[in-house]
Structure 1
Amino acid sequence: MNEKEKLLLLSQGSNEAFEHMYYLYSGKLYNFIMKLTQGNNHVAEELVQRTFIKIWEQQEKVDPEKSFLSFLCTIAKNLLLNDYEHEAVRFIYAEYIRKSENLRYDNVTEKDIDRKLLEDLIDQLTEDLPPRRKEIFVLSRKYGYSNKSIARKLHLSESTIETQLTKSLAYMKDKLKYYSSYVIFLYMFFYF
């Protein structure tokens, strides 16, 4: 049986085909991950297992006409990037808490710290907006002006204000996704 036939069987849920593909490709995937992680064999071993688990869970996505090794490497790379993103968020959060603890607030809760962290991130992202969009965003989100009030104040139409706010929020969401789903959850919780 050739590889395409095995991949077709795998996409239909065959245990035997899965085992065959694991045997055939786990070593190649391991070597690929070792290069990405600069020789971290623990991470490479774990990612090989997680990648093949994902293959088994999404076996219907296996396309016999496409390179299986490329499919495996893409999944492994995405898993690794997600891990790195989560580590970066944990590090940023830990640093932020450490710095906040230095301020020695008596009644600061974790929710207050989360909110302050999110506000700081949004303030940083707000600085990158075009000047007029930034002004509209600040008036709306920071000072609580209605779209109608902003339109009157800036001599613009309400639809222009809505469009600019939509673009601002899309930009924020896009940038915040790099700070993990946890930060996005906080963003939606506090600002919607």
Structure 2
Amino acid sequence: MKEDINNDRILLERLKNGDISCFEILYSKYSGKLYNYVLNISKGDFYLAEEIVQNVFVRIWEIHRHIETEGSFGSFVYTVGKNMFLNVIKNRMQEYLYHDYIIEHASELDNTVEKEVEYKMLEEQINKLIEQLPPARRKVYILSRVKHLPNKEIAALLDISENTVESQLTKATRFMRENLSPYCEIIALGLFQFYVS
């Protein structure tokens, strides 16, 4: 095992078979590097760097049976970390824009209880529509739009091509938009963007 510690391909093969000691070795080997990388791109956000490192390795454990052993594990770790970082930034920006919108339109949104009920109804409608998607398309849609996984990860996880992922997402998104059009007024307040952007 000693000579295998430096060979990521061997560690990954064993990880695919559920060897937790190999996971721990990979974590020790790459968590510090990933932490420094995220710290650098986040301009010194220690909490975010720590959170992303933990989330990356939780994700790796969740998909350990499907990880490809051909490419560089280091590149894979950085890619997943970067995608998680970009998702955090995107979500923060959406929250910021939504907050600005609320402030700007506060007088129009004075009936918050009614709006909350409308949001709940819209959320229920979205969940019903997701359930109507064919199983494979639903899985792709949930991984992309609900779990926020990038297409490359979805393709690896489901063992399909990125083109198939994109095709399924396009069809699912079109279906969602067509069936949510009666809810345009609520969607305009920002909830639609979260689910079908």
TM-score interval (norm. to shorter): 0.5 to 0.7
Shift, 1:34, TM fit: 1.1
Superposed displacement of residue 3, structure 1: 2.4
CA distance in 2, matches of 1:100, 1:112: 18
State the AA in 1 paired with 2:50.
E
The number of equivalent residue pairs is: 127
- Cα distance change of structure 1 residues 69 and 186 upon mapping to structure 2, 3 Å threshold: closer
Letter in 1 for 2:8: E
Counterpart AA for 1:35 = N
Q: Percent identity?
A: 33
| Residue 78 (structure 1) aligns with | 83
- Give the distance between the partners of 2:58 and 2:10, measured in 1 at CA: 21
**CA pair 106-85 structure 1, distance change in 2 beyond 3 A:** closer
What is the TM-score when the length of structure 2 is the normalising length?
Answer: 0.55
Q: 1:60 aligns with which of 65, 71, 82?
A: 65
- Tell me which amino acid in the other structure corresponds to 2:49: A
* Paired letter, 1:16: S
Residue deviations 1:86-108, cap 9 Å, x none?
1111111111111111x366546
Q: 1:106 to 1:62 in 2, by over 3 A?
A: closer
Unpaired segments ≥5 residues, structure 1: 115-165, 174-180
Shift of 1:50: 0.5
Larger radius of gyration: 1
Judging changes above 3 Å, is the alpha-carbon distance between structure 1 residues 50 and 71 closer, same or farther for their aligned structure 2 residues? same
Tell me the equivalent position of 2:102: 97
Q: Which residue number in structure 1 is paired with residue 42 of structure 2?
A: 37
Q: What is the one-letter code of the residue matched to 2:58?
A: I
* Cα distance in 1 between the residues matched to 2:29 and 2:195: 43
Counterpart CA distance in 2 for 1:41 and 1:105 is 37
Unpaired runs of 5+ residues, structure 2, are 120-169, 178-189
Q: Over the residues paired in the alignment, what is the CA RMSD in angstroms?
A: 3.2
How many angstroms apart in 2 are the aligned matches of 1:27 and 1:51? 12
Q: Normalised by the size of structure 1, how large is the TM-score?
A: 0.56
Q: Which amino acid aligns with 2:99?
A: A
Determine the C-alpha separation between the residues in 2 that align with 1:11 and 1:187: 33
Distance 1:182 1:12, change over 3 A: farther
